[in-house]
């Protein structure tokens, strides 16, 4: 067997109170797409930061083509031939594409020559880019191209990609995979980090699975099912959310031709949004982030007031009402941002339970808070949704993302809403907690509530939703039943079509 | 009696450049600081520190240029207090900046006690030969002290540095998105500390220009809000060097004009005239920075946010 490109031996890194990596070893061969699989907090990011020279491991060694490799800064890693595409892009909105590329290079040529190189490389790999465009004007897919082109200009031997598809439409993912396969055929290696199992099965040659900082498995992902991979990641049998057959009831939520400007200067205006959701139905709303999801949620929660006749709950116009009046009528919402929007970080779980539960749970009487009853409500949420915390007296900030998410979703579900709207219910939540949240949403719909799930995770929507609609630049497509919907159709609904003609040009 | 004929437009235009220079110097420094993503509200404190150190050194050495140099060093030194607080100890930038202003005002009063009523050495005006002899243009443009030209050269240098050099690109990147800059391997803290020191040096020069050339005298609290005007100029010029020049000259022009109007016996309470420069400058710059092309006018993305490199 030929020598691996990069061999990692016994890597250990601890932070105060956390072992991020413990005795991790694996090899990446030449011309191989190697998957690094694991849940949030499994230690994937720490590991790649060590390879890229951003942190130093406490112990363990790396060998690059057989020679010891100890990068102490990113430029040393880049000099050896390691390039990295970051999960949250390392790009600058106020600078143009060429400047952004130059910032990621150690000895950039003058900008004019660099612009020509960018054009050439981006054409060669099917990733068209205009070097003079301001980065702030680009879509997520185009931003990623900037990152990739920046890496390719340095002729890397190993390309590290950290969760590259989390912000892409299915069409953009296809374009990306074509590029990655082309790179593999040129003999370059790719370290591909993801928790999207189907992608890994489609793309990768080998996989290393991490759990709590340790390597718990190695496999050929093409030989495994997505379920087997997921169970390797989680370490237990996964409970698959399910729901008995059901028939939709009456219309519970209706939006009629809603037009609304965004309060934020970089927000998206809602344009002619119309949709109806029946009791017992789960409507999934897909779309790439920034296409009006936040505004849509705010328009439903009452944070943004609409004309009276634009939003109806069970036939009653509520568009002009604020959040509390809508809660009283049974329209509840759980926004995406857990800390600071769904929950007040410095307040206890009891106080946070009061914030949205005061009306429906009758926790306030004559202007005074009934703390005993409020604490009881918070405890009930904690118990039913298995929130891991010492008790309701803990402040929200102290909870892990998954536990707090269970709490804020549970808080709304326990108020028995007629209509529940949630945005990104399982974002940044581990697989077991995500499955529990999805099951709870399905149970709620089974009990006769209308549920609207806004998410960028298409797999999640396809798993739990009955019908699907997509937000694109503030417009909502007509809804279609999920059964029989293909990924291609969904991609077109998401508005990926424009992106794709651009990519083919 | 109003006697407008006593106002000579040529003298007015020449005086405008002198009146604008201290603010221009402080503002161009603060622009660099804010482009690096740091909001230093201590401009007033750094200016007055520069004013007193520059004055003291010039008086003791009898050399105005040594005084100006000392003012730049003094301003940079006191700005490093802010740099240590905000970049090393991660203190709140707004509070630290305000503290720096209050500290500078008090500290300069203490240092300057022996210098009240002393007159500093004169700073000679430059002579450009036949250019200075030109009618109208000569007195307006070519009969100033060197610092007027230094301030304009400094603006040009900052403009070139920010837009066309690698260092400037890195500085803008740090100010725009410090996490991304860190991930690419740039030393966010070092870039910011250097920017803060540059801003301090510029503010110090601006202060010394007041005490050594414009007034020239040392009095307690003599900057009288010039640092705050410089801060406002940076924001309203939407972080563009040449617009800072425009704003500073507009402000200087109105200061000079209102002084002349007062001298001419214009029958409006003096207080209204005295506040007019502030009002007009802010109004004009607000109108300029509203509306079109918002994206490029926007503040640096990481402005005022502390950066802590973790994991």
**DSSP per-residue letters across A239-287:** PPP--------SEEEEEEEEEE--SSTTS--EEEEEEEEETT-EEEEE-
Beta bridge partners of A158: A82, A189
Closest to A424 measured CA to CA, from A41, A166, A85, A141: A166
Residue A270 domain-assigned?
Answer: yes
How far apart are the CA of A108 and the nearest CA of chain B, in angstroms? Answer: 9
Give residue-wise pLDDT tens across range B88-101.
998 999 999 999 99
Please choose, from the candidates B226, B205, B86, B221, the residue with its C-alpha nearest in 3D space to the C-alpha of residue B155.
B205
The Cα A148–Cα A180 span in angstroms is 10
**What's the mean pLDDT in A235-257?**
81
SS3 A85: strand
What's the pLDDT band for A500 if we cut at 50, 70, 90? very low
Strands (E), A424-496: 450-454, 467-472, 475-476, 480-481
Residues 181-210 of chain B with CB under 8 A from chain A are 181, 183-186
Tell me whether residues A103 and B181 touch, CB distance under 8 A.
yes
How far apart, in whole angstroms, are the C-alpha atoms of residue A375 and residue A20?
35
In chain B, count H helices and then E strands: 14, 0
How far apart are the C-alpha atoms of A399 and A387, rounded to whole Å? 9
**Domain boundary at A234, A266, A296, which?**
A234
Q: Is the pLDDT at A201 greater than 60, yes or no?
A: yes
Beta-carbon contacts below 8 Å between A and B: 65
Using alpha carbons, select from A167, A182, A159 the residue that is nearest to residue A82. Answer: A159
Q: What percent of chain B shows pLDDT beyond 70?
A: 93
Q: Are strands A82-85 and A368-369 parallel, antiparallel or unpaired?
A: unpaired
CB contact (8 A) between residue A54 and residue B183? yes
Helices B146-164 and B188-209 sit at what angle, rounded to 10 degrees?
Answer: 160
User: Which residues on chain A are in Cβ contact (under 8 Å) with B300?
Assistant: 94
Cβ density class A242-252: b for 16+ within 10 Å, e for less: eeeeeeeeebb
- Kindly state whether residues A100 and A211 are assigned to the same domain: yes
Specify the pLDDT at position B262. 81
Q: φ, ψ for residue A96 (rounded to 5)?
A: -85, 175
In a domain, A417, yes or no: yes
- Claim to verify: residue A295 and residue A345 sit in the same structural domain: yes
Where is the domain boundary, A201, A234, A267? A234
* Residue A134 to residue B295, Cβ atoms within 8 A: yes
Can you give the pLDDT at residue B4? 67
Nearest-Cα residue of chain A relative to residue B35? A94
Query: What does the pLDDT average to over A9-34?
Result: 87
For tokens 């495994």, name the residue. A224
Average pLDDT over residues A393-397: 88
**For the residues B53-82, what does the mean pLDDT come to?**
96
Q: Which pLDDT value is given to residue A504? A: 35
Asked if the structure places residue B307 within a domain, the reply is no
Tell me whether residue B220 is in a domain. yes
Q: Do B180 and A89 touch (CB under 8 A)?
A: yes
Other residues' Cβ atoms within 10 Å of the Cβ of residue A137: 12
- Whether the CA torsion A413, A419, A421, A426 is positive or negative: it is positive
* A254: β partners: A276, A312
Is residue A411 in a domain? yes
Q: Any chain A CB within 8 A of the CB of B274?
A: no
| pLDDT at residue B1 greater than cutoff 60 | no
Give the total number of structural domains in chain B.
Answer: 1
Q: Assess whether A206 and A68 both reside in one domain.
A: yes
User: Tokens 């363990």 correspond to what residue?
Assistant: A60
Say what the pLDDT of residue B224 is: 87
DSSP SS3 for A339: strand
Residues in chain B: 311
- Domain of B159, CATH number, reads 1.10.3470
C-alpha to C-alpha distance for B156 and A501, rounded to whole angstroms: 43
B50 token code pair: 């520069």
| Beta-carbon separation of B180 and A90 below 8 A | yes
Give the neighbor-by-neighbor strand order of the sheet with A206-211. A82-85, A158-162, A189-194, A33-37, A206-211, A214-219
Residue A320 in tokens: 């002009």
Report the phi/psi class of residue A303: left, alpha or beta, with left for phi > 0 and alpha for psi in -120 to 50.
alpha
Task: Decide if B277 is inside a domain.
Answer: yes
Q: Is residue B137 part of a domain?
A: no
Whether residue A423 is predicted with pLDDT greater than 50 in this model: the reply is yes
A331: part of which helix (H) or strand (E)?
strand A331-334
Strand partners, A316: A313
Phi, psi of B123 (to 5 degrees): -95, 120
- Phi first, then psi: give them for residue A8, nearest 5 degrees: -110, 130
CA torsion through residues B109, B111, B114, B118, sign: negative
A304: tokens are: 């943004």
Average pLDDT, chain A: 86
Set of chain A residues whose Cβ sits within 8 Å of the Cβ of B309: none
Q: Coil, strand or helix: which one is A215?
A: strand
In this prediction, residue B285 carries a pLDDT of 64
Distance CA A394, CA A349 (A): 6
Would you say B32 and B296 are in contact if contact means Cβ atoms under 8 Å apart?
no
> Residues A165, A211: one domain?
yes
Residue range B16-36, pLDDT digits in tens: 999 999 999 999 999 999 999
Q: Does B291 touch chain A (CB under 8 A)?
A: no
Determine, yes or no, domain membership for B131. no
User: In terms of residue numbers, what domain contains A479?
Assistant: 251-504
What is the separation of C-alpha A4 from the centre of its chain, rounded to a whole number of angstroms? 32
Question: CA of A69, closest CA in chain B: separation in Å?
Answer: 18
Give the separation between CA B208 and CA B63, rounded to whole angstroms: 13
Judge whether residue A428 has pLDDT over 80. Answer: no
Q: How many CA atoms lie within 13 A of B222 on its CB side?
A: 27
H helix intervals, chain B: 9-35, 43-61, 64-83, 93-111, 130-133, 137-141, 146-164, 166-176, 178-183, 188-209, 226-236, 241-263, 270-289, 294-297
Residue B134's CB: how many other CB atoms inside 10 A? 14
Q: pLDDT band for position A371 (50/70/90)?
A: very high
Residues A80 and A188 in one domain: yes
Confidence (pLDDT) at B78? 96
pLDDT-derived band at A391 (thresholds 50, 70, 90) equals confident
- Quote the pLDDT of residue B12: 85
| pLDDT score for A167 | 67
Q: Does A136 touch chain B (CB under 8 A)?
A: yes
Confidence class of residue A88 from pLDDT cuts 50, 70 and 90? low
Q: Are residues A372 and A426 in the same domain?
A: yes
Task: Judge if A63 and A10 occupy the same domain.
Answer: yes
Q: What is the ipTM of this complex?
A: 0.80
Give me B110's structure tokens. 């203490």
**Residue B85 falls within a domain, yes or no?**
yes
Same domain, A435 and A471: yes
Most confident of A238-252, A290-304, B102-116, B132-146: B102-116
Q: Is the pLDDT of residue B237 over 80?
A: yes
Q: What is the pLDDT of residues B253-290, one digit of tens each?
A: 888 888 888 888 777 787 887 788 778 777 776 776 66
- Does residue B136 sit within a domain? no
Query: With 0-12 CB in 10 A as exposed, 13-18 as middle and 19+ as buried, what is A486?
Result: exposed
Rounded CA-CA distance B174/B189 in Å is: 9
Helix, strand, coil percent content, chain A, rounded in steps of 5: 35, 25, 40
- pLDDT(A222) > 80: yes
Query: Is the pLDDT at A501 greater than 50, yes or no?
Result: no
Domain closes at, from A181, A206, A234 = A234
CA-nearest of A277, A228, A232 to A250 is A277
- In CATH, what number is assigned to the domain containing residue A386? 3.40.50.300
A161 found inside a domain: yes
DSSP 8-state secondary structure symbol assigned to residue A395 = B
Backbone torsion region of residue A388, taken as left when φ is above 0, otherwise alpha when ψ lies between -120 and 50, otherwise beta: beta
Does residue A244 sit within a domain?
no
d(CA A472, CA A416): 31
> Within a domain: residue A246?
no
Positive or negative CA dihedral for A220, A221, A226, A230? positive
Q: Give the pLDDT confidence score for residue B288 in this predicted structure.
A: 63
Distance CA A316, CA A295 (A): 21
* Cβ within 8 Å, pair A86-B177: no
**CA–CA separation, B59 and B109 (whole Å):** 16
Give the pLDDT score at A238: 65
Tell me the per-residue pLDDT of A132-158, one tens digit each, with 9 for 90 and over: 888 877 777 788 889 888 888 888 999
Beta strands in A70-205 (DSSP E): 82-85, 158-162, 189-194
Q: Is A173 exposed, middle or buried (0-12, 13-18, 19+ CB in 10 A)?
A: buried
Query: Do strands A189-194 and A6-15 pair parallel, antiparallel, or not at all (unpaired)?
Result: unpaired
Q: What is the DSSP letter of B145?
A: -
Q: In sequence order, what are the beta bridge partners of A209?
A: A37, A217
Contact B48, B223 (CB under 8 A): yes
Determine the residue among B165, B182, B183 to mutate to test chain A binding: the one whose Cβ has the most chain A Cβ atoms within 10 Å. B183
pLDDT band at B175 (very low <50, low <70, confident <90, very high): very high
Question: Chain-wide mean pLDDT for chain B?
Answer: 88
Which chain B residues are closer than 8 Å to A89 by Cβ?
A: 180
Work out the angle between the directed axes of helices A140-152 and A170-185 (0-180°, nearest 10).
Answer: 10
CB contacts of B301 in chain A (<8 Å) are 92-94
The answer to whether position A243 is within a domain reads: no
Residue in this structure with the two tokens 């009955």, named with its chain if needed: A466
Under the phi-then-psi rule, with left for phi > 0, alpha for psi from -120 to 50, and beta for the rest, what region is B10? alpha
Are the CB atoms for A211 and A235 separated by under 8 Å? Answer: yes
Same structural domain for residues A284 and A424? Answer: yes
Residue A207: which H helix or E strand, with range? Answer: strand A206-211
Asked if residue B138 belongs to a domain, the reply is no
How much is the pLDDT for B311?
Answer: 37
Calculate helix-pair angle for B226-236, B9-35, nearest 10 degrees.
70
Tokens of A237: 């049998």
* Range in A53-57, A382-386, B38-42, B279-283 with the lowest mean pLDDT: B279-283
> Each residue of A311-323: pLDDT tens digit?
999 999 999 999 9
Number of domains chain A contains: 2
**Of B170, B295, B311, Cβ closest to residue A15:** B311
Q: Which pLDDT band holds residue A289 (cuts at 50, 70, 90)?
A: confident
Beta-bridged to residue A159, according to DSSP, are: A83, A190
pLDDT in tens, A260-288: 888 766 678 899 999 999 999 999 998 87
Check residue B295 and give its pLDDT.
44
- The mean pLDDT value for A32-54 works out to 85
Question: In terms of residue numbers, what domain contains B98?
Answer: 4-121+146-297
């Amino acid at each position: 067997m030929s020598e691996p490109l990069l061999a990692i031996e016994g890597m250990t890194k601890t932070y105060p109170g956390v072992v991020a990596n413990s005795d991790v070893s694996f090899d990446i061969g030449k011309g191989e797409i190697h998957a690094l699989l694991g849940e949030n907090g499994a230690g994937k990011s720490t590991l790649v930061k060590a390879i890229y020279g951003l942190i130093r491991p406490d112990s363990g060694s790396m060998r690059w083509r057989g020679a010891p490799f100890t990068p102490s800064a990113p430029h040393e890693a880049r000099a050896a031939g390691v390039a990295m595409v970051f999960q949250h892009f390392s790009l600058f909105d106020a600078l143009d594409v060429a400047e952004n590329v130059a910032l990621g290079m150690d000895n950039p040529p003058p900008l004019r020559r660099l612009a020509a190189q960018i054009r050439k490389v981006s054409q060669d790999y099917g990733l068209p880019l205009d070097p003079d465009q301001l980065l702030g004007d680009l879509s997520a897919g185009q931003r990623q191209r900037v990152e990739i082109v920046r890496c390719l200009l340095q002729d890397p031997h190993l390309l590290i990609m950290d969760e590259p598809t989390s912000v892409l439409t299915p069409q953009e993912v296809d374009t990306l995979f074509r590029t990655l396969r082309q790179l593999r055929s040129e003999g370059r290696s790719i370290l591909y980090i993801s928790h999207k199992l189907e992608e890994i099965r489609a793309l990768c040659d080998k996989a290393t699975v991490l759990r709590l900082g340790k390597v718990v498995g190695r496999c050929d992902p093409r030989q495994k099912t997505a379920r087997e991979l997921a169970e390797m990641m989680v370490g237990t049998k996964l409970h698959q959310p399910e729901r008995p057959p059901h028939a939709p009831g009456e219309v519970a939520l209706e939006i009629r031709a809603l037009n609304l400007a965004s309060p934020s200067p970089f927000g998206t205006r809602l344009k002619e949004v119309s949709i109806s959701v029946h009791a017992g139905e789960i409507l999934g709303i897909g779309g790439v982030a920034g296409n009006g999801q936040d505004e849509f949620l705010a328009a439903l929660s009452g944070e943004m007031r609409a004309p009276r006749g634009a939003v109806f709950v069970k036939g009653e116009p509520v568009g002009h009402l604020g959040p509390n009046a809508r809660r009283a009528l049974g329209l509840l919402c759980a926004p995406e941002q857990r800390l600071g929007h769904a929950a007040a970080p410095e307040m206890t779980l009891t106080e946070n339970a009061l914030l949205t539960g005061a009306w429906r749970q009758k926790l306030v009487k004559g202007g005074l808070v009934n703390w005993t009853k409020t604490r009881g409500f918070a405890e009930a949420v904690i118990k039913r949704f298995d929130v891991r915390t010492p008790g309701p007296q803990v402040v929200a900030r102290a909870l892990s993302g998954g536990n707090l998410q269970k709490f804020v979703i549970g808080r709304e579900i326990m108020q028995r809403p007629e209509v529940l709207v949630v945005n990104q219910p399982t974002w940044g939540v581990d697989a077991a907690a995500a499955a529990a949240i999805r099951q709870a949403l399905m149970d709620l719909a089974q009990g006769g509530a209308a549920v609207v799930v806004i998410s960028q995770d298409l797999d999640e929507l396809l798993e739990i939703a009955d019908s699907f609609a997509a937000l694109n630049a503030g417009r909502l497509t007509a809804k279609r039943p999920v059964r029989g919907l293909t990924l291609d159709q969904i991609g077109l609904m998401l508005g990926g079509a424009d992106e794709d003609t651009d990519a083919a040009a | 009696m109003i006697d407008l004929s006593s106002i000579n437009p040529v003298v007015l235009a020449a005086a405008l450049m002198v009146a604008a220079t201290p603010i221009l110097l402080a503002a161009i420094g603060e622009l660099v600081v804010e482009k690096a993503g740091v909001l230093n509200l201590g401009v007033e404190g750094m200016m007055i520190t520069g004013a007193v150190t520059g004055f003291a050194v010039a008086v003791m050495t009898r050399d105005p240029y040594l005084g100006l140099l000392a003012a730049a060093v003094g301003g940079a030194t006191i700005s490093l207090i802010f740099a240590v607080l905000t970049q090393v100890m991660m203190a709140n930038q707004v509070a630290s900046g305000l503290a720096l202003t209050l500290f500078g005002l008090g500290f300069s009063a203490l240092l300057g006690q022996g210098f009240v009523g002393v007159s500093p050495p004169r700073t000679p005006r430059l002579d450009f030969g036949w250019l200075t002899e030109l009618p109208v243009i000569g007195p307006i443009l070519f009969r100033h002290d060197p610092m007027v030209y230094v301030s304009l050269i400094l603006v040009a240098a900052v403009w070139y540095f920010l837009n066309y050099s690698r260092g400037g690109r890195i500085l803008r990147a740090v100010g725009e998105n410090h996490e991304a800059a860190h991930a690419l391997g740039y030393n966010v803290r070092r870039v910011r500390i250097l920017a803060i020191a540059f801003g301090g040096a510029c503010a110090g020069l601006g202060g010394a220009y007041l005490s050594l050339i414009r007034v020239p005298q040392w009095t307690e609290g003599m900057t009288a809000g010039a640092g705050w005007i410089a801060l406002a100029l940076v924001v309203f010029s939407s972080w563009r060097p040449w617009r800072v020049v425009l704003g500073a000259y507009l402000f200087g022009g109105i200061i000079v004009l209102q002084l002349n109007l007062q001298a001419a016996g214009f029958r409006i309470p003096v207080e209204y005239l005295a506040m007019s420069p502030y009002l007009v400058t802010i109004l004009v710059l607000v109108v300029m920075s509203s509306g079109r092309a918002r994206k490029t006018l926007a503040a640096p993305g990481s402005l005022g946010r502390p950066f802590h490199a973790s994991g």
